[in-house]
């Protein structure tokens, strides 16, 4: 188990390197740079741009710097470490080395702040929202799916079908606005603009909105797998040996139907934490969701890389945890 | 028997592991930014107070005399609550370059001059200024007894420091070009750091800005600059306190304690976790304190949500989404609270003037006559634009109200197109209209234009979506400049120079990129920029503008409208074209009152 875990963690390193390389390459394929202004505004002039690029290291070559190594060689330097260092004195490798040390670089858009400071400061808001939405999705989705499966074709089954169809089909910007209009403007249960996001209460409405789609998905998957498991021979065996129906459901049916759910839990959780752009915008939560989109438009290179790497790392580790948890649920996988 | 039991506990622990961090995360955590506790706690109570107790009178004398009011934000209805869209990331006068950032700085700081509601440049920190005969030297005299909001003296040196900060080769401000006419400015910005670090002190001494005494700021300029007094009203000249900046490091601007200003308002809260920036009245402002006790700017990304907050009585001013405007106008209550007035941007249609078919003046004229400005503004833009035939928008110095050329005339357009050899569009090369695809609304707008030209002139245009920054970069050289594209210009400061010389002179980037070159325009603008007689100067700009319009270097299309919903109890707001984020922003809501 430990060896399996370590192997997976080590494998994560080349994966992250590759993710970094690909995103760096793609990001620089897009024309423009972080100091471009709106179309209708005066652009930064040449001298200023040069000074800004020098300030942020954007005047260096993108991947390798043979010129610097050559200069050093001509100066009589023969230390391979120093020569190699000069050769890799480029935007990409400087970024990687710094990132490995936990320094994700300065944001070009938010002057004077580093990407890790911004992410560390804003991520807790997204994490709180994501975890609450996720808890709601699990606590509502799984029971609803189980009941729907046990009482197949009953009223509650159709009700769960209705709820989950709505949840999947109606986009968050519609449900979000609907919730604001009904609970904010009409009923005045929640406030639209006077929310302190260090508090717990304001998160309730947005997490229900955000969690609805995941809940619907989990409900459907739970129902389907439960129905499948219900017809298995070992369920009949369990019943035949006289086990109480409650035990049959809990110990045999649920356990076995959990595997497909666990598979989607890891990536689903990461999705909820990072992918809440719209929910965050509607409810005004100062999380990291919008950085994923706006940093691209702004060519805020270090922010693009920072968010991509954080997302990649979260996904990878969520998947490792999911793989580990299989073993807990199904002894056959543990081997 | 034992084993399943154990696995059951593991499952419970797995669930617990999921839930524990949630509980931990939801527990109270101290707010991380700015001056918080008190001020954020006051925010909800303010809203409650304003709805629960509408009887609160404006301008209670006790509030006005209250000592150094940290309690000021709690006085209830006497605070103007503004909804703005995007959180200002950087609140550094010398580094900021985005409208939402400048809007905040404008309340907290004040330059040597400022702009009044008619966009005239008026005395601010400086009570007067004087040019020498050829306008190469300007001397500003500060008011007596100027103070920062904390009571410390504001002197001429604080403005000199601001210029040093913009022109800092270590970390230049994006807008330092505004000050390039100051003697020695370019030498400083072209200094290689850290290689030539040692030269900087001498270069600063040689820089054409000095403070002979505490009340005098003197500029020496490379060329006559008769509009310099307007330039120093821009945000790059705001005198942020140098000692606080030095102490605060690179992110000094995030801490309200460092944002000690000299404007009518003083920032008291910068709290991103509540999407809130708050101001209190500056008791030390030279003109006395503003009538209101404070301002609250709340950031709400989604305009539809902001509208709900407005309907809910949580904010007093907001900008509606253009798509909601027709509904708002027809609403019995909201319709009366809706205000619109000309804004700071001219929207136009620009061509690559070096590539066929738009290198042909007749083709451009045909496109200009064939453009139904009124129809486009009404149908495609939901009436959020005022059709215009000239370049400088109404409300700005230099507006030419007599321009009548190139109004909508499809017959004339057809005739001109035939004269150019492309009768009914036959023989025209494939036409691609590049537009910024970041805004999803643009697609329908360009489709509308394509159909308009198809119907009117028989021309086929293919809309081509391009990502925003990519489009900006395509426009950076004439080689890649799109055939035809929507374009425009928004004022940085109210002067003809900013509309004409910065844009149409053939040496500027804009003219170079589109390929515009008219020797006569160059000559007129060159003369106007250094002309010290205001009447002659205005006349020269006027002549240049007429030539520009006549050349159809661009099709002038319309002025953006400023559209705001304002609660009826808010009185005395100045509606100024330069307001980018809320009504009254430019004049600082100094005389605004709230009467409920």
User: Are the beta carbons of B501 and B540 closer than 8 angstroms?
Assistant: no
Which burial class, exposed, middle or buried, applies to B427 when counting CB atoms under 10 A from its CB (0-12, 13-18, 19+)? exposed
Comparing alpha-carbon positions, the chain A residue that sits nearest to B491 is: A41
pLDDT band, very low/low/confident/very high, at B425 (cuts 50, 70, 90): confident
Task: In whole angstroms, give the CA distance from residue B73 to residue B79.
Answer: 7
Task: In whole angstroms, give the CA distance from residue B349 to residue B463.
Answer: 14
Task: In whole angstroms, give the CA distance from residue B562 to residue B582.
Answer: 9
- Average per-residue pLDDT in chain B? 85
In terms of domains, do A273 and A309 share one?
yes
Task: Answer whether residue B410 shows pLDDT above 70.
Answer: yes
Higher pLDDT, B553 or B468: B553
Least-confidence region, from B449-453, B510-514, B532-536: B510-514
A chain contacts of residue B172, beta-carbon cutoff 8 Å: 48, 51-52, 55
CB interface of A with B, residues 245-304, below 8 Å: 251, 281-284, 286, 290, 297-299
**What is the per-residue pLDDT for B77?**
61
- Note the pTM of the prediction, 2 decimals: 0.81
pLDDT band, very low/low/confident/very high, at B140 (cuts 50, 70, 90): very high
**Is A172 domain-assigned?**
yes
Q: Give yes or no for B272 touching A (CB within 8 A).
A: yes
For residue A324, what are the contacts with CB-CB under 8 A and spacing of at least 6? A1, A4, A5
pLDDT band, very low/low/confident/very high, at A254 (cuts 50, 70, 90): confident
Chain B interface, best mutation among A171, A188, A193, A331, by max B CB count within 10 A = A193
**What is the per-residue pLDDT for A333?**
64
**Is A23 domain-assigned?**
no
Over residues B478-499, the mean pLDDT reads: 91
**What is the per-residue pLDDT for B12?**
42
3-state secondary structure B489-551: EECCCCCHHHHCHHHHCCCCHHHHHHCCCCHHHHHHHHHHHHCCCHHHHHHHHHHHHHHHHHH
In terms of domains, do A89 and A156 share one?
no
Least-confidence region, from A271-275, B527-531, B571-575: A271-275
**Is A26 domain-assigned?**
no
Residue B545 CB coordination number (10 Å): 24
CB interface of A with B, residues 110-139, below 8 Å: 110-113, 121-122, 124-125, 127-128, 131-132, 134-135, 138
A chain contacts of residue B19, beta-carbon cutoff 8 Å: 135
Question: Nearest CA of chain A to the CA of B168: how many Å?
Answer: 10
**Is A208 domain-assigned?**
yes
Query: Looking at A48, A71, A105, which one is the last position of a domain?
Result: A105
Over residues A85-107, the mean pLDDT reads: 84
**Is A30 domain-assigned?**
no
DSSP 8-state assignment for residue B256: G
Task: Answer whether residue A111 shows pLDDT above 90.
Answer: no
Q: Give yes or no for A171 touching B (CB within 8 A).
A: no
User: Are the beta carbons of B352 and B363 closer than 8 angstroms?
Assistant: no
Least-confidence region, from A100-109, B258-267, B473-482, B529-538: A100-109
Cβ contact A131–B25 (<8 Å): yes
Question: Nearest CA of chain B to the CA of A84: how many Å?
Answer: 24
Task: In whole angstroms, give the CA distance from residue B575 to residue B374.
Answer: 24
Task: Answer whether residue A245 shows pLDDT above 80.
Answer: yes
Task: Answer whether residue B300 shows pLDDT above 60.
Answer: yes
H-only helix segments in A151-169: 155-169
Cβ contact A32–B273 (<8 Å): no
In terms of domains, do A138 and A242 share one?
yes
DSSP 8-state assignment for residue A11: H
CATH number corresponding to B346-559: 3.10.105.10
Q: Nearest CA to B577 among B488, B492, B487, B486? A: B492
Over residues B235-263, the mean pLDDT reads: 92
Q: Give yes or no for B270 touching A (CB within 8 A).
A: no
In terms of domains, do A83 and A156 share one?
no
In terms of domains, do A220 and A298 share one?
yes
Task: Answer whether residue B308 shows pLDDT above 80.
Answer: yes
Over residues B401-424, the mean pLDDT reads: 93
Least-confidence region, from B60-64, B106-110, B221-225, B517-521: B60-64
A chain contacts of residue B307, beta-carbon cutoff 8 Å: none
Beta pairing, strands B276-281 & B294-299: antiparallel
Domain of A265? 116-334
**Is A33 domain-assigned?**
no
Task: Read off the tokens for A253.
Answer: 């049916």
In terms of domains, do A153 and A252 share one?
yes
Cβ contact B22–A194 (<8 Å): no
Q: Give yes or no for A233 touching B (CB within 8 A).
A: no
Cβ contact B29–A124 (<8 Å): yes
Comparing alpha-carbon positions, the chain A residue that sits nearest to B47 is: A194
- Average per-residue pLDDT in chain A? 84
Least-confidence region, from A295-304, B68-77, B410-419, B441-450: B68-77
Q: Per residue in A141-175, pLDDT tens?
A: 988 988 898 888 888 889 989 988 988 888 888 88
In terms of domains, do A98 and A146 share one?
no
**Is A9 domain-assigned?**
no
**What is the per-residue pLDDT for A63?**
85
Task: Answer whether residue B377 shows pLDDT above 60.
Answer: yes
The percent of residues in chain B predicted with pLDDT above 90, rounded, is: 64
- Domain locations in chain B as residue ranges: 346-559
ipTM of the complex as predicted: 0.79
Higher pLDDT, B164 or A45: B164
Cβ contact A32–B473 (<8 Å): yes
Give the largest CA-CA distance in chain B.
Answer: 103
Task: In whole angstroms, give the CA distance from residue B469 to residue B490.
Answer: 17
Task: Answer whether residue B45 shows pLDDT above 60.
Answer: no
Higher pLDDT, A313 or A48: A313
Q: Give yes or no for A198 touching B (CB within 8 A).
A: yes
- C-alpha A109: how far from chain center: 22
User: Are the beta carbons of B80 and B295 closer than 8 angstroms?
Assistant: yes
Task: Answer whether residue A321 shows pLDDT above 80.
Answer: yes
Which burial class, exposed, middle or buried, applies to B262 when counting CB atoms under 10 A from its CB (0-12, 13-18, 19+)? buried
Looking at the DSSP bridge assignments, the partners of residue B138 are B131, B219
Q: Per residue in B80-111, pLDDT tens?
A: 999 998 889 889 999 888 889 999 999 999 99
**What is the per-residue pLDDT for B41?**
33
The answer, yes or no, to whether the previous bond of A247 is cis (omega within 30 of 0) is no
In terms of domains, do A92 and A220 share one?
no
- CA angle in degrees (0–180, nearest 5) for B272-B282-B61: 115
Chain B interface, best mutation among A37, A192, A202, A265, by max B CB count within 10 A = A192
**What is the per-residue pLDDT for B127?**
95
Total structural domains within chain A: 2
Query: Looking at A105, A134, A168, which one is the last position of a domain?
Result: A105
What is the residue whose two structure tokens read 């008619």?
B118
CATH classification at residue A205: 1.10.3720.10
Cβ contact B25–A128 (<8 Å): yes
In terms of domains, do A67 and A186 share one?
no
**Is A245 domain-assigned?**
yes
Question: Nearest CA of chain A to the CA of B348: how many Å?
Answer: 10
Q: Long-range pairs for B400-404 at CB < 8 Å and ≥24 separation?
A: B400/B542, B400/B545, B400/B546, B400/B549, B403/B546, B403/B549
Task: In whole angstroms, give the CA distance from residue A188 to residue B452.
Answer: 46
User: Are the beta carbons of B76 and B596 closer than 8 angstroms?
Assistant: no
Cβ contact B28–A198 (<8 Å): yes
Task: Answer whether residue B64 shows pLDDT above 80.
Answer: no
For residue B80, what are the contacts with CB-CB under 8 A and spacing of at least 6? B292, B294, B295, B296, B316, B317, B570, B589, B592, B594
Higher pLDDT, A264 or B29: A264
In terms of domains, do A203 and A270 share one?
yes
In terms of domains, do A189 and A81 share one?
no
Task: In whole angstroms, give the CA distance from residue B265 to residue A218.
Answer: 52
User: Are the beta carbons of A282 and A177 closer than 8 angstroms?
Assistant: yes
Task: Answer whether residue A40 shows pLDDT above 80.
Answer: no
Distances (CA, A) of A8 to A13, A312, B203, B257: 9, 14, 58, 48
Looking at the DSSP bridge assignments, the partners of residue B213 are B216
**What is the per-residue pLDDT for B475?**
87
Over residues B67-76, the mean pLDDT reads: 39
Q: Per residue in B193-245, pLDDT tens?
A: 778 888 889 999 999 999 999 999 999 999 999 999 999 999 999 999 999 99
Q: Give yes or no for B512 touching A (CB within 8 A).
A: no
Comparing alpha-carbon positions, the chain A residue that sits nearest to B16 is: A135
Question: Nearest CA of chain A to the CA of B172: how many Å?
Answer: 7
Question: Nearest CA of chain B to the CA of A244: how many Å?
Answer: 16
Cβ contact B302–A281 (<8 Å): yes
Task: Answer whether residue B518 shows pLDDT above 70.
Answer: yes
**Backbone dihedral angles phi then psi of residue B77, each to the nearest 5 degrees:** -65, -5
Total beta-carbon pairs less than 8 A apart between chain A and chain B: 192
Which residue of A43, A198, A328 is in closest CB contact with B10?
A: A328
**What is the per-residue pLDDT for B46?**
34
**What is the per-residue pLDDT for B4?**
38
Cβ contact B314–A192 (<8 Å): yes
Least-confidence region, from A52-61, A71-80, A139-148, B13-22: B13-22
Which residue of A38, A198, A329 is in closest CB contact with B31?
A: A198
In terms of domains, do A287 and A318 share one?
yes
Task: In whole angstroms, give the CA distance from residue A56 to residue B117.
Answer: 40
């Amino acid at each position: 188990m430990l060896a399996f875990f370590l192997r997976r963690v080590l494998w994560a390193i080349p994966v992250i390197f590759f993710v970094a390389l690909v995103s760096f390459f793609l990001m620089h394929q897009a024309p423009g740079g972080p100091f471009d202004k709106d179309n209708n505004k005066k652009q930064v002039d040449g001298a200023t741009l040069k000074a800004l690029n020098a300030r942020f290291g954007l005047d260096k070559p993108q991947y390798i710097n043979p010129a610097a190594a050559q200069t050093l060689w001509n100066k009589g330097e023969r230390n391979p470490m120093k020569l190699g260092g000069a050769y890799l004195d480029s935007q990409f490798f400087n970024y990687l080395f710094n990132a490995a040390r936990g320094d994700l670089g300065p944001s070009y858009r938010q002057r004077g702040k580093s990407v890790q400071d911004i992410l560390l400061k804003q991520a807790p808001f997204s994490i709180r929202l994501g975890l609450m939405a996720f808890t709601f999705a699990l606590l509502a989705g799984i029971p609803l799916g189980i009941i729907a499966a046990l009482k197949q074709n009953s009223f509650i089954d159709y009700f769960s079908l209705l709820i989950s169809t709505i949840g999947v089909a109606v986009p968050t910007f519609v449900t979000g606005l609907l919730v604001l209009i009904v609970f904010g403007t009409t009923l005045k249960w929640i406030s639209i603009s006077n929310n302190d996001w260090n508090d717990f209460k304001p998160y309730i409405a947005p997490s229900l909105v955000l969690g609805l789609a995941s809940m619907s998905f989990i409900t459907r998957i739970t129902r389907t797998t439960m129905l499948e498991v219900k017809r298995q021979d070992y369920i009949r065996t369990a019943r035949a040996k006289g086990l109480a129906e409650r035990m049959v459901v809990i110990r045999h049916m649920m356990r076995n139907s959990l595997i497909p759910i666990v598979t989607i839990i890891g990536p689903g959780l990461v999705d909820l934490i990072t992918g809440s752009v719209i929910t965050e915008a509607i409810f005004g939560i100062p999380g990291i969701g919008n950085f994923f989109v706006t940093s691209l438009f702004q060519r805020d290179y270090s922010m693009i890389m920072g968010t991509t790497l954080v997302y990649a790392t979260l996904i990878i580790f969520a998947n490792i945890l999911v793989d580990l948890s299989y073993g807990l649920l199904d002894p056959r996988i543990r081997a | 028997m034992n084993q399943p039991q154990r696995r059951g506990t593991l499952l419970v622990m797995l669930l617990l592991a999921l839930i524990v961090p949630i509980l931990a995360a939801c527990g109270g955590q101290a707010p991380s930014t700015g001056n918080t506790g008190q001020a954020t706690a006051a925010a909800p109570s303010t809203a409650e107070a304003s709805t629960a107790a509408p009887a609160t009178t404006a301008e209670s004398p006790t509030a006005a005399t209250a000592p150094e009011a940290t309690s000021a934000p709690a006085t209830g209805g006497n605070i103007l609550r503004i909804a703005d869209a995007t959180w200002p990331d950087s609140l550094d006068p010398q580094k900021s370059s985005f409208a939402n950032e400048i809007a905040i700085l404008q309340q907290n700081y004040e330059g040597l001059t400022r702009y009044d509601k008619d966009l005239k440049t008026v005395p601010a920190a400086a009570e007067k200024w004087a040019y020498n005969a050829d306008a190469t030297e300007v001397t500003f005299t500060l008011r007596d007894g100027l103070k920062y909001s904390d009571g410390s003296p504001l002197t001429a040196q604080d403005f000199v420091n601001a210029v040093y900060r913009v022109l800092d080769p270590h970390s230049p401000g994006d807008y330092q070009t505004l000050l390039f006419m100051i003697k020695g400015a370019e030498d400083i910005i072209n200094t290689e750091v850290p290689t030539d670090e040692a030269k900087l002190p001498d270069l600063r001494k040689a820089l054409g800005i000095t403070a002979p005494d505490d009340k005098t700021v003197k500029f020496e300029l490379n060329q006559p600059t008769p509009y310099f007094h307007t330039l120093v009203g821009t945000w790059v000249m705001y005198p942020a306190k140098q000692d606080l900046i030095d102490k605060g490091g690179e992110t000094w601007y995030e801490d309200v304690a460092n944002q000690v200003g000299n404007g009518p308002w003083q920032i008291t809260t910068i709290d991103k976790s509540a999407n809130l920036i708050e101001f209190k009245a500056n008791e030390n402002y030279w003109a006395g304190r503003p009538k209101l006790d404070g301002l609250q700017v709340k950031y709400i990304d989604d305009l539809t949500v902001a509208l709900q907050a407005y309907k809910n009585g949580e904010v007093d001013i907001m900008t509606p989404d253009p798509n909601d405007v027709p509904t708002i106008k027809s609403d019995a209550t909201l319709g009366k609270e809706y205000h619109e007035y000309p804004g700071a941007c001219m929207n136009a249609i620009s061509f690559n003037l070096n590539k066929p078919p738009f290198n042909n003046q007749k083709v451009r004229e045909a496109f200009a006559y064939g453009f139904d400005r009124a129809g486009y503004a009404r149908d495609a833009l939901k009436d959020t634009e005022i059709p215009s035939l000239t370049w400088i928008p109404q409300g700005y110095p230099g507006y030419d109200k007599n321009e009548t050329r190139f109004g909508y005339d499809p017959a004339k357009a057809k005739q001109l197109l035939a004269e150019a050899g492309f009768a009914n569009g036959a023989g025209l090369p494939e036409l691609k209209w590049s537009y910024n695809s970041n805004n999803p609304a643009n697609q329908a707008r360009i489709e509308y234009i394509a159909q308009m030209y198809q119907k009117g002139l028989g021309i086929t245009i293919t809309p081509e979506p391009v990502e925003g920054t990519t489009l900006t970069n395509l426009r950076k050289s004439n080689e890649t400049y799109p055939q035809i594209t929507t374009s425009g210009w928004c004022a940085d400061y109210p002067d003809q120079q900013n509309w004409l010389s910065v844009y149409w002179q053939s040496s500027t980037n804009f003219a170079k990129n589109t390929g515009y070159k008219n020797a006569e325009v160059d000559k007129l603008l060159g003369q106007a920029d250094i002309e010290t007689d205001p009447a002659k100067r205005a006349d020269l700009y006027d002549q240049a503008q007429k030539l520009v319009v006549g050349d159809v270097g661009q099709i002038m299309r319309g002025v953006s409208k400023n559209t705001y919903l304002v609660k009826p109890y808010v009185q005395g707001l100045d509606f100024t074209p330069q307001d980018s984020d809320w009504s009254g922003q430019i004049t600082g809501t100094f005389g605004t009152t709230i009467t409920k």
